[in-house]
Chains A and B, each alone.
Chain A
Amino acid sequence: MKAIQHIGLSLFLAGLAIFTILPFIGSYELSTEKLDEVVQNKGIKSELFVKNLQESTVGKEFSTPFTFSSNIVSAIEDANETHKANQEWDKVIWDKKHSFSYEIAKDIGAGPVREHKGLFWFLTFGLGIIGALLFIIPQLYLKPIPGIKNNGIWHSAATNRGWIGWFVFLFLVGFYILLYFYPDYIVNWTYIVDPISQSISGNMASQWFLYGFLYCIVTVVMGIRMYIKYRHNKYQILRTTSVLFFQIAFAFLIPEIMVSLEMPWYDFKNAFPLDYDFFFEWNLKTLANSGFIGIFILVWGTVLTIVVVPVMVYFFGKRWYCSWVCGCGGLAETLGDPYRHLSDKSLRAWQIERWLIHGVLVFAILMTGMTLYAYFTGADVVLGIKTQLVKDTYGFLIGSIFAGVIGTGFYPIFGNRVWCRFGCPLAAYLGLVQRFKSKFRITTNGGQCISCGNCSTYCEQGIDVRAYAQKGQNIVRSSCVGCGICSAVCPRGVLKLENGPDDGATRHEIPEVMLGNDVNLFEMLEENR
């Protein structure tokens, strides 16, 4: 079995290595005809840009996407600089530079990857999946007795912020930076999923299709790991199944199918303000122009946030969303599970958390207010601030850097819920409801806590669960996503996630006497009530 695991690990690493070197393979050559086509399709009026490219790029073969991209980007920059100085606004190219470059590169890229998409899919995704499963499934035979298996977690360099952890961190951060900011470097990655994209929506794969597909693969493979690790715990099994279902059906398949039916791309479970651009002008315009389905999405998205979300949180706690439905949660609970113990449990971290996450919520609401005001009045400046600048700032800082680069990239360093704990505005909103008006709590089982600390250690949200449990107090915290792991790792059966009556006293008051000490005192308390 160990040998199978070693083979699996080797295959996985081989797949990863091939995936990593893919961007360096192949060539890019822009012909005059292609350039003309781009100019025509994009409606480019800058002859400066065309001249620049003709001198620097056309007719030359580039063996990596980097110089090719840098030529296009600098052609855009040079042209824009001149046009802006001359106030020739219609000649300025407003496209995002690397997205512009991506479109050209995707069109003209050549080489073995593009020619053998299937083969390279197998050498990357295929080997990765097979290798990972060969590594994961033998656990069933190596550890045949179900139960909590956290042995060696703090001894392994992969999970104790050791060198493997830092390596994974660099890899993930690098991946997200390329994905968000340099799509033109990774056209080869998108080629290998073209056939899948075409079979679903009929379109070539964008970097976002690549990301969505990879996301599904990763959550499924690591979901299988969850099934094996927590096979004795039905709550974990059902929860994992739920996040996988919502990821694959709602976040991936349905939106792609909608696109193939010429409807807007929409993830029906992605609620505002996590879906921060839902009320942006461009989206409202798209929806308004999409007929019935557009209006339906608009109404559903609004109802989802205003009615469905808080009502469900009242009955079940925010867990129904964060650890049963949400995509970010889905990744955190599958890929992120091996890193859950790395969250910071200190009081200091809790203070930072409250400022940050509520700050982001306020930011998102103000931004949406401004953008709606702008939409209905047509003004593009509100209170002296350009709404576009606010939206770009949010999209860059929160949408890309916080949610992606930090949120996932930092899994091996700060744990798997950095985004959900410190940044997600939807989590902040759900948390407020959960804290003040909900039936959900984690019930502490009387006096049974031995303060061992497993619950706090394995809380991905950095809640010091033990601080409550050892006082005999139920846990009611806005940040709790109800993953249920504290209850699973408790060696003494102290914690239970429940939706009980929403009554302040039983929900979260500290008992005056710990259960087990002095029956008479309890009678006394009873009489005084």
Chain B
Amino acid sequence: MEHIVIIGNGISGVTAARHIRKLSDKRITIISAETEYFFSRTALMYIYMGHMKFEHTQPYENWFWEKNRIELKKGFVTHINDASKELVFANGETMQYDKLIIATGSKPNKFGWPGQDLEGVMGMYHKQDLETLEKFAPNNKVCKRAVIVGGGLIGIELAEMLQSRDIPVTFLVRESSFWNGVLPAGESAMINEHIREHHIDLRLGVNLQEIKADEHGKVKSIIIKETGEEIACDVVGLTAGVSPNVDFLKESNIELGRGVKVNRKLETNVKDIYAIGDCAEQQEAIGNRRPIEAVWYTGRMMGETVAQTICGNPKEYNPGHWFNSAKFLDIEYQTYGWVFGERGRPEYEQHFHWKHPKEHLCITIAFHKETHEFLGINTFGIRMRHHAFDKWLTEKRSVEYVLEHLADANFDPEFYKLHEKDIVAQFNQEHHTNIQLKKRSWKRIFQFS
């Protein structure tokens, strides 16, 4: 029986394993050095915050794996011998494979800051990071202040985590406004305001100079490059992005760029070896996507795709319309299609921005300046229906059509105050149009899916 070995038990590797099992009877082994069982990495924050226990972040009960004949192996692969199709583990053990899927995910970036390996300095990615945080920041007596370096999605999650235990946080963000490489200005400004409203000490446009140690080799303070200011702290969180976790492959014959180079079928240059998820790097970017997509959803899609290929139905990785979501403290964010921030925005992309006068609710709709084709939407504090936008993007609907049918796309809980009327009215005013908002129609909604 063919033996499929998957290195990495994150969402990509586990999705691949589940789908291979659905489609075939092959022997499947998942290897991980991090945890015995699959857990949802995106939920790590909730364990520290006390919303959940670790067991709740495991999407499958422990009996699931044996029942579905997916073997789990705890170990750290140090070497891949592709000629003999053999894996070597850190403890000297070996394992044969017929097909190998590399799904080792990411690791936090470190940019060579002085002091970046001190005690009390950590990323927030692995389960072990959580244990480190629990050790150095169990409460605000032990950790009197924490400094977070890097204003991305993990940075703001870490800030929220620390804040849940009343630990004062200083948040260093290189950009002039939070996440404005991705978000349009108005949205980014709203998030700045929301971060500060939570009494997080947000410092924009600053970089880390160095991290200083006390006499025990533990973090004592950090220095800000631009101002030279020293901030005393007990914990430093490094959240300046992630990069593929592929160091163990450097000795192998597998072609590496920043990640493992793969073609559209997610095959590496070595026969029978595939790479998926955060660690995979497309030889050529797909559409507006980046060659490396470190996103939960794309990892899942690659897992589904590679399973098809391995089970004799060769398929290209063909992600549909871009979508993503996040939560910034209390503000939910969803995006469908492409809405660019200041950076890399095509000249044809025009934005329509609506913001609630009082509450933290806003949307930005991107459309083509000339053709008025709807390109994408960002929504903050308003939930939208994935099916609706997916369909409208496929059908290349106009921005006017989307606004006219916006009520169909609303996904907020029942009885919520709806803002579509205000949104459409503002668009009409700004663009001298006369779009009439249609009433929500179940008939149309159920044609979405």
Which residues of chain A have a CB within 8 Å of any CB of chain B? 145-148, 150-156, 232-235, 238, 346-347, 443, 445-448, 450-454, 456-457, 466-467, 470, 484, 487-489, 491-493, 496-498, 500-501, 503, 506, 511, 513-522
Contact = CB atoms under 8 A, between A and B. Distances in A.
Given A151-B164, A451-B11, A519 B446 contact: no
Given A151-B164, A445-B385, 15 more contacts: A154-B53, A446-B323, A451-B40, A453-B58, A454-B43, A466-B59, A492-B334, A493-B325, A496-B414, A501-B446, A506-B446, A511-B449, A516-B321, A517-B304, A518-B319
Contact of B297 (A147, A447, A466, A518): A447
A347 B62 CA distance: 11
Which of the listed residues B43, B386, B413 has the most CB atoms from chain A within 10 Å of its own CB? B413
B59 A467 contact: yes
Contacts of B321: 516, 519
A153 B58 CA distance: 18
Interface of B: 11, 40, 42-43, 46, 49-53, 56-59, 61, 164-165, 197-198, 296-297, 300-301, 304-305, 318-321, 323, 325-327, 329-330, 332, 334, 383-387, 390, 394, 411-417, 442, 445-446, 449
Contacts of A451: 11, 40, 42-43, 59
Given A346-B61, A453-B56, A488 B304 contact: no
Contact of A454 (B51, B300, B383): B51
Contacts of A145: 197-198, 329-330
B125 to A, nearest CB: 15
B320 to A, nearest CB: 4
B61 A347 contact: yes
A503 B414 contact: no
A91 B93 CA distance: 85
A523 to B, nearest CB: 8
A446 B415 contact: no
A378 B325 CA distance: 67
A473 to B, nearest CB: 11
A460 to B, nearest CB: 14
Which of the listed residues A154, A233, A235, A467 has the most CB atoms from chain B within 10 Å of its own CB? A154
A81 to B, nearest CB: 54
Contacts of B323: 446-448, 516
A497 B414 contact: yes
B50 A506 contact: no
B445 A500 contact: yes
B244 to A, nearest CB: 20
B50 A454 contact: no
Contacts of A500: 442, 445-446
A515 B387 contact: yes
B390 A452 contact: no
A496 B40 contact: no
14 contacts: A145-B329, A347-B61, A446-B390, A453-B56, A453-B58, A491-B332, A493-B383, A496-B412, A498-B414, A503-B446, A516-B319, A516-B390, A517-B318, A522-B394
Contacts, number: 169
A318 to B, nearest CB: 16
Contacts of B383: 445, 493, 496
Given A452-B42, A492-B325, A518 B334 contact: no
A147 B330 contact: yes
A514 B164 contact: no
A446 B59 CA distance: 18
Given A153-B51, A154-B53, A511-B449, A484 B413 contact: yes
A446 B53 contact: no
A454 to B, nearest CB: 6
A466 B61 CA distance: 12
B54 to A, nearest CB: 10
Nearest to B157: A491
Contacts of B414: 235, 484, 496-498
Contacts of A234: 413, 415-417
Contacts of B442: 500-501
B55 to A, nearest CB: 9
A514 B301 CA distance: 8
Given A235-B413, A517-B318, A519-B394, A452 B387 contact: no
A-B CB proximity, top 10 nearest:
A446-B386, A147-B330, A493-B383, A452-B43, A152-B50, A517-B301, A155-B50, A491-B327, A151-B164, A234-B415
A506 B446 CA distance: 7
A517 B330 contact: no
Contact of A517 (B164, B305, B332): B305
A152 B347 CA distance: 47
A234 B412 CA distance: 10
A498 B385 CA distance: 13
Contact of A154 (B51, B319, B385, B415): B51
A450 B296 contact: yes
Contact of B40 (A151, A347, A452, A488): A452
A86 B305 CA distance: 84
B388 to A, nearest CB: 9
Contacts of B165: 151-152
Contacts of A154: 50-53
A153 B40 CA distance: 19
B319 A146 contact: no
Nearest to A453: B56
A147 B51 CA distance: 14
Nearest to A519: B320
Contacts of A518: 301, 305, 318-320
A268 to B, nearest CB: 25
Nearest to B443: A501
A150 B160 CA distance: 12
A521 B321 CA distance: 13
A456 B46 CA distance: 13
Nearest to B324: A448
A514 to B, nearest CB: 7
A487 B383 CA distance: 11
A423 to B, nearest CB: 24
A410 B56 CA distance: 21
Contacts of B416: 234-235
A410 B415 CA distance: 33
Nearest to B47: A154
A147 B386 contact: no
